[in-house]
Structure 1
Amino acid sequence: MFRSRSKEAQSPATEPVEDLTPQRDPQAPKGRPTPKRREAQAQRRSISKPPADRKEAAKRAREARRADMARQRQALATGDERYLPLRDRGQPRRFARDFIDSKWHVAEFFLPIAVLILILSIVPSVQAKNISLVLWMGVIAMIVVDSVLTARRLKKALRERFPDENLRGVTMYAIMRTLQMRRMRLPKPQIARGESPRR
């Protein structure tokens, strides 16, 4: 009897303990991910999964290329070294770009002068044709002289600032930049004319 009563006395005490255990309400937001988080997790899982077929793989490759090109265009405008094309990366090349952009060069006016020479050459006048020929030869001579002097000064500055760096091709890279008008240069100039080049 005592045994049965003790069991009966204990049973109602244990039942409320089971009822007091926290139950998750399926409609309650607490403890459950929000729809935005669920969507983000599903998106991450879909990205981490390998592509299901060749069409999906091609789509992902196109999206990756598009993102890379967008970062590269931004880098060409801002000079961000992380996403620049390989030919533009490195401290020596950045210094060479600044060295060129900080000065005036004859070669950057080659395109408008060439248009003027073309106009003079089609004018039905012997004097105009002679002027265009002299102007053409004079511009070419000035470009050559300016390029030689610029290359010598740039090589000296590069050797002083980057004695342990591989400087192969940097001088030609800079000279080719002088042939472009300032507003058309890529990467965009990050320095004003007259400023000292950054290291």
Structure 2
Amino acid sequence: MRTYRVPLGFVFRSRANEEKAPADKALADSKLTRDPQAPKGRPTPKRSEAQTQRRSVANTPTTRKEASKRQRDDRRAAMERQRQALASGDERYLPVRDKGPVRKYARDFVDSRFCIAEFFLPLAVLILVLSMVRVGSLQNIALLLWLVVILMIVVDSVGIAVRLKKQLNTRFPELPKKGAVPYALMRTLQMRRLRLPKPQVKRGERP
């Protein structure tokens, strides 16, 4: 019978490999259980950042009903912010048609002066009442007064448009000014206390 000699080096290497295998396995397990918040090669997030992430996950709607409720709440909050902005003049939440320095100056330009057009509604009511009275002289006065009011509004509006356009070209040469003059003229037709956004300048106070 033949006998085989096993080299001693082979035996020691096998034992070393067997001892090394559990250590490698333990290291691999530790990598698998690494904190998902801190992946390999990245620093562990701060406590405040981790809380913010958990909060955002908790606030994320999980059903269609919750999502629709969240959208309604967001719309309601946006409308409330816009209402407050129309009263305070906060540029951040104003409607698009009222935003920008050009539109703000147009509003201030109109609000800083008396405009005949803002008295159109009460004058129209007065003229209507006079025209309904069955007295020839009063009806003639009502008709004449109506023509005078219309003429005065037209003349005043043309003057406001010319002066405002000149001021806008001087103050904002680089900004688009399309629609700013009609925007201002439409504001003159509203009574001062009913204007939105609310006037931010007093009468006689130049913007």
Q: CA deviation at 1:169?
A: 0.3
Give the Cα separation in 1 of the matches to 2:53 and 2:63.
Answer: 22
Query: SS of the residue aligned with 1:195?
Result: coil
Q: CA deviation at 1:153?
A: 0.2
In the alignment, which residue of structure 2 is the partner of 1:54? 64
Matched, 1:153 2:171: no
Structure 1 stretches of 4+ moved >6 Å: 40-43
Aligned length in residues: 157
| Bigger RCO of structures 1 and 2 (CA < 8 A, at least 6 apart) | 1
**Percent sequence identity over matched residues?**
61
Gaps of 5+ in 1: 1-37
In the alignment, which residue of structure 2 is the partner of 1:132? 142
Matched, 1:177 2:187: yes
Q: CA deviation at 1:57?
A: 1.6
Give the Cα separation in 2 of the matches to 1:113 and 1:46.
Answer: 59
Give the Cα separation in 2 of the matches to 1:145 and 1:171.
Answer: 15
Closer/same/farther in 2, CA of residues 42 and 121 from structure 1, 3 Å limit: farther
Question: Deviations along 1:6-57, whole A, 9 cap, x unmatched?
Answer: xxxxxxxxxxxxxxxxxxxxxxxxxxxxxxxx9x99865432x2x3222212
Question: Deviations along 1:68-118, whole A, 9 cap, x unmatched?
Answer: 001001100111100000000000110110000000000000010011011
In the alignment, which residue of structure 2 is the partner of 1:143? 153
Q: How does 1:1-199 map to 2 (within 5 A)?
A: 44-47=56-59, 49=60, 51-197=61-207
Tell me the TM-score normalized by structure 1: 0.75
Give the Cα separation in 2 of the matches to 1:43 and 1:140.
Answer: 62
Q: CA deviation at 1:130?
A: 1.1
1:71 alignment partner AA: R
